[in-house]
C-alpha cells in the first residue's frame, strides 16, 4: 500500500484560491491523495487581521477571491518551506515575478522525489534571455514540472461555470494523476504531451489581451448623454489619450465610433495568434499546431481578450492616461497584471535578434505600454503586417 500523496499549493491569489477550491475538494474523493492541502499564503494584514488567520477560520480568501468558500481541508501557511516541506506534488500558482525568489527559498527544503505543476502565465527574464517558468522550477529545484493553462478566468471557475483547461505533461502516468487532481464536472481537462507549447500559449496570450482592448478604446468612445455619437466623433480632434481623458469625465456608455469594433478585434486576435505561432516556431521549434486549438490556445486568447484583467486595465490606460502601475494599484486590489511585463520581456528577445519588424503586434503593444507609441497608431502598425504581404 503506497502512502497517499501530499499536495501543496504555492500561491493564494485570485487563481491560486480558485484552484485551492478545486484541489481541496478533489483530494477528498481519491485515495491517491492525502486529505490536507497546505497553501502558501504571502502574509498580509486585511481589515486588521492576518490573511492566513482569516482563511483558516472563515475558509475564504476575502481579499483575492471574495464570495467563494474554500474547503476546510485547505490550510493557509505563511511560510513557504513549512507549506512545501512534506509535499509530493507542488502546485505553483503565483504571479511570475515572484517565482525565482520562492524557488530559491525552497531550495533544499522540499522532498527530492517531489514533482510540480505550474499554472503561471509569463516568462522569467535573466541576463541570458527568457526562460519558461516551468524551467525555472525544474532547474532551481531539480524536480519535474508539468503545466496547466486554459481559458480560465478565476472568478468564473470558482463560480463553477463550465470551462476547460489543458495540462501539458510529457509523462503519461503523471498526466493521468494530475487530471485526477484537477478535473471536476465543471472544469474539464485535456492532457497533451506538448508541454512547452501549452506554456508558451499561456504566456503569450496576455500580450494579445492588452491589444484587444486598445482596439476597443481607439474605435469606441464614451458619449455624453443626449449627444449623437457621430457628432461627437467629428467634433473631437485631440489624440485618443486626450479624447479619453476628457470624455471619461463626462461619463456615459460606449458606442462604436467608427463601426470597426468586433471585426477589428477579431483581426487582432487572429494576428496575435499568428505571432504566437511564429514566436514558438522561431524560438521553441517543434510545437504541434493542434496544441494551439486546445483550451490553452485559441480559447484562452478569446476569453482574455473579452474578459480578462489585462483587457480591463488596458482599456483604462487608454481612457484615463494614467500609468499601468497606477491603474494596477487602483483597479486590481493587490492582484497583479502579467501582460505588460510579458510584452516587455518578449521585446528584449525580439530586439536582441533584430526581429521587431516580424512581430509588429507584440512590438506595438510594448511600445504603447511604455508610451513610446500613441494608441491610435496601433492599427497603422497592423496594416502592413507580414501576414498580409
Ligand X SMILES: O=P(O)(O)OC[C@H](O)CO
Q: Is 265 among the residues that bind ligand X (CB under 6 A)?
A: no
In the chain, the N- to C-terminal Cα span, in Å, equals: 63
HSE of 287 in the Cβ direction (CA atoms, 13 Å)? 23
Residues in the chain: 389
80 binds ligand X (CB under 6 A): no
Task: Return the beta strands (E) in 41-83 as ranges.
Answer: 45-46, 49-50, 74-77
Give yes or no for residue 240 binding ligand NAD (CB under 6 A): no
User: How far, in Å, CA of 158 to CA of 262, rounded?
Assistant: 28
CA proximity to 158, closest of 42, 28, 64, 44 = 64
Q: Which of 73, 184, 248, 336 binds ligand NAD (CB under 6 A)?
A: 336
CB 48 within 8 A of CB 77: no
Residue 143 CB, nearest approach to ligand NAD (Å): 19
What does 122 interact with, of ligand X, ligand NAD, none (CB < 5 to 8 A by kind)? ligand NAD
Alpha carbons 206 and 365: distance in angstroms, whole number? 11
122 binds ligand NAD (CB under 6 A): yes
Q: Which is nearer to ligand NAD, 39 or 318 (CB)?
A: 39
Task: Give dist(CA 195, CA 210) in Å, integer.
Answer: 24
- Nearest-angstrom CA–CA distance, 328 and 316: 10
- The catalytic site residues sit at 205
Q: Is 338 annotated as a binding residue?
A: yes
Please, what is the minimum distance in Å from the beta carbon of residue 301 to ligand X? Answer: 9
Near ligand X in 132-161, by CB under 6 A: 151-153
Q: Does 14 sit near ligand NAD (CB under 6 A)?
A: yes
38 lines the binding site for ligand NAD (CB under 6 A): no
If binding is defined by CB under 6 A, does position 222 make contact with ligand NAD?
A: no
367 binds ligand X (CB under 6 A): no
One residue of 13, 168, 340, 360 binding ligand NAD per CB under 6 A: 13
Q: In angstroms, rounded to a whole number, what is the distance separating the alpha carbons of residues 274 and 334?
A: 33
CB 167 within 8 A of CB 182: yes
Binds 209: which of ligand X, ligand NAD, none (CB < 5-8 Å by kind): ligand X
**253 belongs to an annotated ligand binding site:** no
Beta partners for residue 123, in sequence order? 132
Set of cell numbers at residue 54? 482569516
Q: Is residue 64 near ligand NAD by the rule CB under 6 A?
A: yes
Element at 73 (helix H, strand E) = none
Q: Strands 129-132 and 187-192, how do they pair?
A: unpaired
Strand 89-92, strand 115-118: pairing: parallel
What DSSP string describes 166-205? EEE-SSHHHHHHHHHHH--SSEEEEEES-HHHHHHHHHHH
Site for ligand X in 288-347 (CB under 6 A): 300, 303-304, 308-310, 338
* Residues 61 and 40: beta-carbon distance below 8 Å: no
Give the per-residue contact string, 272-311, with ligand NAD (x = CB under 6 A; - = no): ----------------------------------------
Judged by beta carbon distances under 5 to 8 A according to partner kind, the member of ligand X, ligand NAD, none in contact with residue 300 is ligand X
Tell which one of 84, 93, 137, 364 touches ligand NAD (CB under 6 A): 93
How many chain residues touch ligand X (CB under 6 A)? 13
Applying CB under 6 A, the residues found at the interface with ligand X are 121, 151-153, 206, 209, 300, 303-304, 308-310, 338
Residue numbers of the site for ligand NAD (CB under 6 A)? 11-16, 42, 64, 93-96, 98, 119-122, 152-154, 334-336, 338
- Binding residues, by number, are 11-16, 98, 121, 154, 309-310, 338
Binding residues for NAD(+): 11-16, 98, 154, 309, 338
Amino acid at each position: 500500500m503506497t502512502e497517499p500523496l501530499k499536495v501543496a499549493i504555492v500561491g493564494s491569489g485570485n487563481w491560486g484560491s480558485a484552484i485551492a477550491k478545486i484541489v481541496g475538494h478533489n483530494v477528498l474523493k481519491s485515495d491517491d491523495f492525502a486529505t490536507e492541502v497546505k497553501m502558501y499564503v504571502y502574509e498580509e494584514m486585511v481589515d486588521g487581521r492576518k490573511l492566513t488567520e482569516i482563511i483558516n477560520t472563515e475558509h475564504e480568501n476575502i481579499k483575492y477571491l471574495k464570495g467563494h468558500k474554500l474547503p476546510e481541508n485547505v490550510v493557509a501557511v505563511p511560510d513557504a518551506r513549512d507549506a512545501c516541506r512534506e509535499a509530493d506534488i507542488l502546485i505553483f500558482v503565483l504571479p511570475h515575478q515572484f517565482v525565482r525568489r520562492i524557488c530559491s527559498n525552497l531550495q533544499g527544503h522540499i522532498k527530492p522525489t517531489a514533482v510540480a505543476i505550474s499554472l503561471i502565465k509569463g516568462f522569467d527574464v535573466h541576463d541570458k534571455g527568457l526562460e519558461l517558468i516551468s524551467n525555472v522550477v525544474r532547474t532551481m529545484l531539480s524536480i519535474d514540472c508539468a503545466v496547466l493553462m486554459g481559458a480560465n478566468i478565476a472568478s468564473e471557475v470558482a463560480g463553477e461555470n463550465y470551462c476547460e483547461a489543458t495540462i501539458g505533461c510529457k509523462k503519461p502516468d503523471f498526466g493521468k494523476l494530475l487530471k485526477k487532481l484537477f478535473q471536476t464536472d465543471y472544469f474539464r481537462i485535456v492532457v497533451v504531451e506538448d508541454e512547452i507549447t501549452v506554456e508558451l500559449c499561456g504566456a503569450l496570450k496576455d500580450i494579445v489581451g492588452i491589444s484587444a482592448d486598445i482596439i476597443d478604446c481607439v474605435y469606441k468612445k464614451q458619449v455624453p448623454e443626449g449627444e449623437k455619437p457621430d457628432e461627437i466623433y467629428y467634433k473631437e480632434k485631440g489624440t485618443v489619450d486626450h479624447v479619453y481623458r476628457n470624455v471619461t469625465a463626462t461619463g456615459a456608455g460606449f458606442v462604436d465610433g467608427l463601426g470597426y469594433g468586433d471585426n477589428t478585434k477579431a483581426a487582432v486576435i487572429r494576428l496575435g495568434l499568428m505571432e504566437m505561432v511564429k514566436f514558438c516556431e522561431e524560438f521553441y521549434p517543434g510545437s504541434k499546431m493542434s496544441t494551439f486549438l486546445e483550451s490553452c490556445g485559441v480559447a484562452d486568447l478569446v476569453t482574455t481578450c473579452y474578459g480578462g484583467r489585462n483587457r480591463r486595465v488596458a482599456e483604462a490606460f487608454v481612457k484615463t492616461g494614467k500609468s499601468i502601475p497606477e491603474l494596477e494599484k487602483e483597479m486590481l486590489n493587490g492582484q497583479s497584471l502579467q501582460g505588460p511585463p510579458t510584452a516587455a520581456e518578449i521585446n528584449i528577445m525580439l530586439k536582441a535578434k533584430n526581429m521587431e519588424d516580424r512581430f509588429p503586434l507584440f512590438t506595438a503593444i510594448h511600445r504603447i505600454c511604455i508610451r513610446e507609441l500613441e494608441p491610435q497608431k496601433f492599427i497603422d502598425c497592423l496594416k502592413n503586417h507580414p501576414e498580409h504581404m
